[in-house]
Structure 1
Amino acid sequence: MQDFWIFLLVGFGAQIVDGALGMAYGVISSTVLLAFGVPPATASASVHAAEVFTTAASAGSHAVNKNVNWGLFVPLALGGALGGGIGAFVLTSIDGDLLKPWITAYLSIMGFVIIWRATKQTRERIFPTKLAGPLGLVGGFFDAIGGGGWGPTVTTTMVGSGQDPRVSIGTANTAEFFVTATISATFLAALLTGHWQQADGVVNHAMSVVGLIVGGLLAAPFAGIIARIAPKRVLTYGVGAVVLLSAGYQALRLFGVL
């Protein structure tokens, strides 16, 4: 029962940050699970099981607060679902750590680009619709591999391109529901077919997953409100800071410092 309360607090805090900045729920939750000794594939499956519920609530909040660009949402969600399904299958087959150095390098570059844009107050741009599908594909794949790569990849790229942070966050968060649902379904299929040999770990950490769900659901309704009322420059700086912190943490882990 202690795990439930710990992960309720983790889920609540992670969802507040994720709802406001379009990322961090998966990264924070996965990091804590890994710190508890949970294997990477089990941690990713657990987080995505929780996110099916939290992203649905967060998507509703962003939709009500009119933070979603529906023209970008459709190709982003379709591409993300496809990439997430492929990534989940790959994660149950090979070592996802092989891709982490490349993801970390990408996040570092984008983090500095976002901070630069916030400092220079560059002109706002509309993210090209034709690139939304490919971006979703890459973001969904990284999300499944890393247990929380959707926001850092998708939201970061959209904000870095000059898209309104509020719209980037709202659109990415809303599309994320379909990505997490696809990834969770792929993990479930791998479990039922025997493709995933270490899947019993998810059951062993059921109370942690329930805690993540409850905590995330309590915080999710505030997502759209925070993104709507927060100043654009503050949101941009916030996204850049979270991305750089995430990249720095991953770099320290890659070099064995943590």
Structure 2
Amino acid sequence: MERFIILMLIGLAAQLVDGALGMGYGLTSTTLLLSAGIAPAIASASVHMAEVVTTAASGASHIKFGNVDKKMLKRLIIPGSIGAFSGATFLSHLTGEYVRLYVSIFLVCLGLYILGRFLWMKDARKQEHAALSNRFYVPLGFIAGFFDASGGGGWGPIATPALLSQKGMIPRKVIGTVNTSEFVIALSATIGFMISLGPSQINWLWVGAIMAGGVIAAPIAAWIVKSLPTKVLAVIVSGMLIFTNVRAIFSYTTLSSSITTSSYVMIIIIWGSIALYTIQKERKSKLVVQLKSRKTS
């Protein structure tokens, strides 16, 4: 019962992040599952099985509200599915103590990527639209799908920023299309894990717990989006991913405790400084908007 509650809280925390940022369910839940001592392949398999249900509901909503570009969807699904199946098979066949090291390094990189995405990446949505060919979609879909399955998350964090950085992309169409396509990606990864690991290796109670937590968190995430600036939340989440997985990486080294402690302190100081800077910047932007609205009224 205690394990069930912990996993439900993990699902809840992951959905809070994903609902507020539009990405991060897999990254957050996988990181927390690894911290709870669950094997990487089982953690990723459990997350993707839960995502089959959550992404189906999300995709249906985006289709209903007209947030999906059908041409983009078709171009992403096929290479993404192949990449996800390949990633699941790859992770399932990795053996030995260094499996978690691989996953943790990947999660640290994605944590840094999310941080950079929300703080410094330029917005190209106002530029003239440029048509994209399969030369762009095929490698993007395959890479995002592969790392999503083998790293426990990454479809949204890789595909969404890559598409938004292209000229003339409409944000709601990009987010809606990526979210809708994730159903097929999660399903392909799940099939890969089922074939490679077998149903007996999956704890269905864990999957249900993660899923239940996500359902409970959905309305809370909507409130967070309204109340907390997205950039501030992105800094908090990326910092959590980096700090947690750096600790896992250090466990594979022979570094002294003084060096590791100094590293942790440095990460916390840098993380705190960026968070403080982001909060102050968001406050200034809010004040500027309020002053402009007063002048015009």
Asked if TM exceeds 0.5, the reply is: yes
Shift of 1:63: 2.1
Conserved in 2, the CA contact under 8 Å of 1:11 and 1:213?
yes
3-state secondary structure, aligned to 1:67: coil
Q: Residues of 2 paired with 1:242 and 1:161: CA distance?
A: 25
Which of residues 217, 241, 245 is equivalent to 1:246?
Answer: 241
Conserved in 2, the CA contact under 8 Å of 1:88 and 1:141?
yes
How high is the TM-score relative to the length of structure 1? Answer: 0.77
**Residue 126 (structure 2) aligns with:** 124
Q: Residues of 2 paired with 1:28 and 1:100: CA distance?
A: 12
Q: 1:157 to 1:103 in 2, by over 3 A?
A: farther
Conserved in 2, the CA contact under 8 Å of 1:53 and 1:217?
no
Which of residues 129, 141, 160 is equivalent to 1:136?
Answer: 141
Kindly provide the CA deviation profile for residues 20-55 of structure 1, in whole angstroms up to 9, marking residues without a partner as x. 423111112112211221111111111111111111
Q: Which amino acid aligns with 1:208?
A: W
**Residue 32 (structure 2) aligns with:** 32
Shift of 1:13: 3.3
3-state secondary structure, aligned to 1:185: helix
Query: Rg: which structure is higher?
Result: 2
Conserved in 2, the CA contact under 8 Å of 1:61 and 1:222?
no
Conserved in 2, the CA contact under 8 Å of 1:81 and 1:137?
yes
Mapping for residues 220-235 of structure 1, pairs under 5 Å: none
How high is the TM-score relative to the length of structure 2? Answer: 0.68
Shift of 1:62: 2.1
Identity of aligned residues (%): 35
Are 1:170 and 2:170 matched, yes or no?
no
Bigger relative contact order, structure 1 or 2 (CA pairs below 8 A, ≥6 apart): 1
Q: Residues of 2 paired with 1:154 and 1:235: CA distance?
A: 18
Shift of 1:97: 3.9
Q: Which amino acid aligns with 2:112?
A: S
Q: Which amino acid aligns with 1:216?
A: G
Kindly provide the CA deviation profile for residues 3-28 of structure 1, in whole angstroms up to 9, marking residues without a partner as x. 33333333233223213423111112
Conserved in 2, the CA contact under 8 Å of 1:55 and 1:173?
yes
**Residue 145 (structure 1) aligns with:** 150
Q: 1:176 to 1:88 in 2, by over 3 A?
A: same
Q: Residues of 2 paired with 1:4 and 1:161: CA distance?
A: 42
Shift of 1:79: 1.5
Q: Residues of 1 paired with 2:231 and 2:73: CA distance?
A: 20
Q: Residues of 2 paired with 1:60 and 1:217: CA distance?
A: 15
**Residue 212 (structure 1) aligns with:** 210
Q: 1:191 to 1:10 in 2, by over 3 A?
A: closer
CA RMSD of aligned residues (A): 3.4
Q: Give 4+ residue runs of structure 1 displaced > 6 Å after superposition.
A: none
Q: Which amino acid aligns with 2:32?
A: V
Shift of 1:67: 2.4
